[in-house]
Amino acid sequence: MKKFTLIFFLFTGLAGLVSCSSNDDGPETTFEQLVITEAGLPASFNLGELYEIPITYELPDGCTQFFTLNVGSPTQNIREVVAIGSRTDSGGCTQAVSEGTETLIFQVLFNQTYTFRFWQGDDANGNPQFLEVEVPVVE
């Protein structure tokens, strides 16, 4: 029985390695940060409320499409928002820059001013630049 189990796991592992071959000649997909140009935040938040915040971003070419919004929380009241795009270069991409809008769903959990930092690209030294907006919480 032990021999059968060992052979089964060896065969399964070998089949897994062969089936995951990376000899794919199709177009490669990469992920990149998209510049956020605008965020429709309210003047204030109400504690416990849920908000739909429109986020406008730039698509740098015709091969890039929106993938997701990534929201980080370095502290309790700071939110860093980055739009992520997926780029599949299948040839013939237009170089036209276009805009898109997605909605960020945000729930106010803490009774303190929130600071939102929306990624807008990197400066000449490679340091990230942010559109920073503070929104107070009222009860």
Q: Which residues pair with 70 in a beta bridge?
A: 82
97 vs 116: CA distance, rounded Å? 25
Residue 118 pLDDT > 80: yes
Single-letter amino acid, residue 88: T
What local confidence, expressed as pLDDT, does residue 4 receive? 47
Q: Are 118 and 129 in contact (CB under 8 A)?
A: no
Residue 137 pLDDT > 80: yes
Mean pLDDT of 85-111: 92
Closest CA to 55 of 41, 44, 71, 74: 41
Q: In the structure, how many helices (H) and strands (E) does the chain have?
A: 1, 10
77 three-state secondary structure: coil
43 three-state secondary structure: coil
- If one compares 98 and 25, the residue with the highest pLDDT of the two is 98
Q: If one looks up domain 26-138 in CATH, what number appears?
A: 2.60.40
Confidence of residue 93 (pLDDT cuts 50, 70, 90): confident
What local confidence, expressed as pLDDT, does residue 11 receive? 54
Range scoring the smallest mean pLDDT among 8-17, 62-71, 72-81, 124-133: 8-17
